[in-house]
Amino acid sequence: MSNLTYERPFIQKLNTGTMNKFGTRTEYAPVTHLESVPVKRIVADYGSPCFVISERQIRKNYQDAVRAFKTRYPKVQFAWSYKTNYLDAVCNIFHQEGSWAEVVSIFEYRKALNNGVPGNKIIFNGPDKSAADLELAVDNNSLIHIDHFDELYELAALLQASKKKARVAIRVNMDTGVYPMWDRFGFNYENGQAWNAITKIMSQQEMELVGLHCHIGTYMLSAAAYGTAAWKLCDLAVNIKTKWNKSLQYLDLGGGFASANTLKGSYLQGADVIPSIDDYAEAITSTILNSAIRQNELPMLILETGRALVDDAAWLVGSVVATKRLSDGRRATIMDFGVNLLFTAFWYNHKVSPAQEFSHHTEDMVLYGPLCMNIDVIRDSVNLPLLNKGDHVVVHKVGAYNMTQWMQFIQMRPKIIIIDMEGKTHIVRESESLETMLRYEKRPDHLSQSSL
Ligand SMILES: *Cc1c(COP(=O)(O)O)cnc(C)c1O
């Protein structure tokens, strides 16, 4: 019989009063494997911390979403939101599945071209497109989604000078009953600005208005808001048909569907409060089908879903650097990853699981990152089994935005690996190193050395 692991003595604070309405906690289970790959092996082969992506989960999420929409409305096209996760390997999974590219900067635009996405399957969103960016998009016959009047006039001038034609849409912002309203992007529906932009575009011979776009927010907890948004886009489309006898090729409802992460301050777990993809699909498709748009003129429905397709398809594996007591007696655990890698820790309570067997003693603790920075907190208060230096943990649902919004501050960014459909692992992004950083630095002669 093997020896039992040593368990140190401890003093536990007993909480009197009512129990949490969900009863005692039962959610703990060590996560020793990601799919079939042992966490220990990931750390040994790729180091800690390390992002791990599941190809299988991405494909499944995509196929489930397509099914939810296509079974209700056959003319559906997804466009992968690059900024949510623009690793080439991830983008190419979506492109292999049939997704177009949705980009919000020239950097992302070039990344999509570099991934082999045909220009006419790139949707160019965002408020900052230079004249040169617009020209490139025009030459590639991309879908240009105009954000404001300055962009509209710049594009008009450019097209008039070059005698080229562009396929355009406008981004429309509107009141969907969810506040604060996202009115900083696009043209407003209620005050007539959107209609004004449409009439300007229709008067330009070089611009063809092919669609209407909106992206009403992110992590939207209301499916009904999408019904409202779709209704307002349909209303504009019907008015365009009435005034110019022109039917639009597509309505683009943007992204923003919630992922199963739990928002800070939410009493219930994310998975228990978010609408399902079917709920969103039902709200959008039934609104379009029930609108006054004629059956044979129904537009293609484009979706730019980001976080809901990728958040639960990645984990962050990390290790405990140290444990300590704070002056108020609370337990603190310091991890080798912080908000530099987990930007989303600012608004999500990420689920963290120990990656090895543990004793049954749990304690409320703070999870800190390794940065010398007070705001580097992964969880303000989380009840976890006691972790020891060197233990590994797995942070769940980190696939959206972390690998694009991460920051290089006092530490290098780590490796990102993917587990393929056969359970094999591949590096999809190398860890950065001192050389990575020095490559961009220059030392003027007089600052090239010192003599201490
Ligand atoms: C960020 C973004 C998306 C994706 O949003 P999610 O909330 O991740 O689904 C889609 N469209 C536009 C225009 C965006 O800026």
Cα 307 to Cα 401: distance, rounded to the nearest angstrom: 8
Residue 15 has pLDDT above 80, yes or no: no
- The answer, yes or no, to whether any atom of ligand 1 lies below 6 A from the CB of 81, is yes
CB of 215 within 6 A of ligand 1: the answer is yes
Give pLDDT, residue 16.
54
Q: Is the minimum distance from the CB of 105 to ligand 1 under 6 angstroms?
A: no
Decide if pLDDT at 361 tops 90: no
Name the residue of 86, 91, 102 to mutate for ligand 1: max ligand atoms within 8 A of Cβ.
102
Query: CA-to-CA distance for 155 and 167, rounded, in angstroms?
Result: 11
Q: What is the distance, to the nearest Å, from the Cα of residue 57 to the centroid of all Cα atoms in its chain? A: 15
Residue 255 Cβ < 6 Å to ligand 1: yes
Provide the CB-side half-sphere exposure for 181 (13 A, CA). 14
Q: Which atom of ligand 1 is nearest to the CA of 308?
A: 9
How far from the centroid of its chain's Cα atoms is residue 89's Cα?
Answer: 15
Question: How would residue 151 be classed by pLDDT, with cut points 50, 70 and 90?
Answer: very high
pLDDT tens track for 408-424: 999 999 999 999 999 99
pLDDT for 78 equals 98
SS3 119: helix
Q: Two tokens at 160?
A: 């008039």
- Distance (Å, rounded) from C-alpha 441 to C-alpha 126? 30
Task: Return the residue matching tokens 């908000």.
Answer: 339
pLDDT at res. 154: 98
pLDDT computed for residue 430 by the predictor: 98
Query: Is residue 18 over pLDDT 70?
Result: no
- Sequence ranges of the domains in the chain: 33-52+312-434, 126-303
Using CA atoms, how far residue 72 sits from 209, 281, 288, 320, in Å, is: 26, 8, 11, 47
pLDDT of residue 5: 77
- 84 within ligand 1 shell (Cβ under 6 A): yes
For the record, the structure tokens of 408 come out as 């290089």
DSSP label at residue 79: E
Residue 9 pLDDT grade (very low, low, confident, very high; cuts 50, 70, 90) = confident
Question: Looking at residue 24, what is its pLDDT?
Answer: 55
SS3 state of residue 390: coil
pLDDT at position 23 = 56
Q: Are 65 and 255 in contact (CB under 8 A)?
A: no
Look at residue 245 in the predicted model and tell me its pLDDT. 98
Distance 172 CA to ligand 1 centre (A): 14
Average pLDDT, integer, range 305-322 = 98
The distance of Cα 227 from the centroid of its chain, to the nearest Å, equals 22
- In the chain, % of residues over pLDDT 70: 96
Which ligand 1 atom is nearest residue 217's CA? Answer: 7
pLDDT tens digits along 280-299: 999 999 999 999 999 999 99
426 CA to centre of ligand 1 in angstroms? 27
Look at residue 17 in the predicted model and tell me its pLDDT: 53
Q: Is any atom of ligand 1 closer than 6 Å to the C-beta of 102?
A: yes
- For 441, residues 6+ apart whose C-beta sits below 8 A from its C-beta are none
pLDDT digits 0-9 by tens, 73-128: 999 999 999 999 999 999 999 999 999 999 999 999 999 999 999 999 999 999 99
Confidence of residue 238 (pLDDT cuts 50, 70, 90): very high
The helix (run of H) or strand (run of E) holding residue 169 is: strand 166-173
Q: How far is the CA of 253 from the centre of ligand 1 (A)?
A: 10
Tokens 């105009």, residue? 146
Instruction: Among 84, 257, 347, name the best residue to mutate to test ligand 1's pocket (greatest count of ligand atoms within 8 A of Cβ).
Output: 84
Per DSSP (E only), the strands in 82-125 are 100-103, 122-124
Task: Check if 104 has its Cβ closer than 6 Å to any atom of ligand 1.
Answer: yes
pLDDT category of residue 4 using cuts at 50, 70 and 90: confident
Check pocket membership of 256 for ligand 1, CB cut-off 6 A.
Answer: yes
Contact 184, 143 (CB under 8 A): no
What is the token pair recorded at 215? 């992206």
Cβ of 217 closer than 6 Å to ligand 1, yes or no, is no
pLDDT at 8 over 80: no
Q: What is the DSSP letter of 290?
A: H
DSSP helix/strand/coil, 382: strand
Tokens 């969907």, residue? 176
Ligand 1 atom closest to the CA of 171, numbered from 1? 13
**pLDDT, position 29:** 86
Does the beta carbon of 83 sit less than 6 angstroms from any atom of ligand 1? yes
Ligand 1 touching residue 307 (CB < 6 A): yes
The listed CATH number (2.40.37.10, 1.10.1060.10, 1.10.3470.10, 2.40.40.20) that belongs to domain 33-52+312-434: 2.40.37.10
Distance 290 CA to ligand 1 centre (A): 26
Give the 3-state secondary structure of residue 316.
Answer: strand
Tell me if the domain spanning 126-303 has CATH number 3.20.20.10: yes
